[in-house]
Amino acid sequence: MRKFKYNWEKDLIPPPLSSENSSNEWMDDVKNRIMNKKRRVFNRVVPLVGSISVIVLSVGIFVVKNDKIMDLIPYWSEVLGFYATLTTYEPVKYPPRNKVFENQEQLSKEEQKKADFIQKMAYAYQNIKTLKGIAEINMDALVSKVEFQIREGKNPASYEVVTQPDGTRSEYTNDNNYGWTRFNDGKEDDVLRVVPRNPEKEPNLTFVSTTDGNPSYYLPNDPAWTRSASDIVAPLRNLGWMVVDLKLWSIIGDESFLGRNVKVVEGKLPSYNAQKMHAVTYKVWVDDETNMVLKKQTYDSNGNVVEGIEVTSIEVNPQLDNSIFDTSQRKK
């Protein structure tokens, strides 16, 4: 069907049949009128489309650069019914786990087993969907309590409540866009934008690499941006000394901890860490199923605990209330 139509009775009056060459002239006139109308429509539409494109692009750039406008997006997403789909667990296709050492193939069989153990422990967060629990943090005989809830996958998020020895509480929430902290018994709030983590695009870096003869370390961190609970789900971040010298530690056996099977690791701290941490040895309890660390302690030369973390209750892959990860209301 033609887009450009005419009312032939009103707009175009056919010539008298007796006129010589009038039919050809009339058809030429019809063609000219159609072409002129197409040109007029084209000349109107193209500038309009161009103007709209420029406006949309300008508004888009302004919105992206304006934090106050960006803060409205989570709220309107929730109103429109999209929020639930954006904040639930979705599985992740993780890239291959990075090697621990550049020359890993040249290690002895025993060292290769240890490297494999470190690698699995470093990526413990890849083995869980959700996690909920309570842990105690011991620092110089002062014990704090951490209540944590973690969601991994494509939409990682975390929530922690820390109760200090004096009874004061602080809360921390991260929804992979903003980190929100409420401290001093709720009297102060702090909101920061964070760089979103995409677990499917983890950097392809060896844990230990050598540049100009000096070792450099890449220690994977939890995509959910956990704080105290990172010792549990991304433990290598705070157990980096295990990659310094594989001969300084060993797996001494199996135990049961909180009703779960664990591997027990004992070792000596490298001299630098021992001096910095005022400790000599350490012990770690690693969950068989998930490779999470359920307990970690460092000891001084007299066998006293210098610092550590111990999980007192834990639920693997429980159903979580995703509203606790929402920072939109807290930002307001």
Return the amino acid letter for 269.
L
Confidence band, pLDDT 50/70/90 cuts, at residue 183: confident
Cβ within 8 Å of residue 134, ≥6 positions away: 145, 146, 147, 148, 311, 312, 313, 314
Q: Tell me the mean pLDDT in the region 40-61.
A: 70
How many angstroms separate the most distant Cα atoms in the chain? 124
Tokens of 283: 């012990």
Model pLDDT, residue 1 = 46
Pick the CATH number of 95-331 from 3.90.550.10, 2.50.20.10, 3.30.420.40, 3.40.50.300: 2.50.20.10
298 or 66, higher pLDDT: 298
**pLDDT band at 127; cut points 50, 70, 90:** very high
Q: Is the pTM of this model over 0.75?
A: no
Q: Which is more confident, 318 or 80?
A: 318
Amino acid at 61: I
- DSSP code, position 164: -
**Secondary structure letter of residue 247 according to DSSP:** G
With bands split at pLDDT 50, 70 and 90, how would you rate the model's confidence at 11? low
What is the arithmetic mean of pLDDT over 121-128?
Answer: 96
Going by pLDDT thresholds of 50, 70 and 90, the confidence category of residue 331 is low
Residues 6+ apart with CB under 8 A from 133: 147, 148, 232, 311, 312, 313, 314, 315
Q: Where are the domains of the chain?
A: 95-331
For range 38-54, the mean pLDDT: 69
Query: Is pLDDT above 50 for 75?
Result: no
**Per mean pLDDT, which range of 60-69, 94-103, 184-193 is the poorest?**
60-69
The lowest-confidence range among 1-10, 92-101, 147-156 is: 1-10
DSSP 101-150: BTTGGGS-HHHHHHHHHHHHHHTGGGG-SEEEEEEEEEETTEEEEEEEEE
Contact between 304 and 140 (Cβ < 8 Å): no
Would you state the structure tokens that stand for residue 26, as one six-digit string?
């009339």
pLDDT of residue 16: 55
* Cα–Cα dist 309/297, whole Å: 7
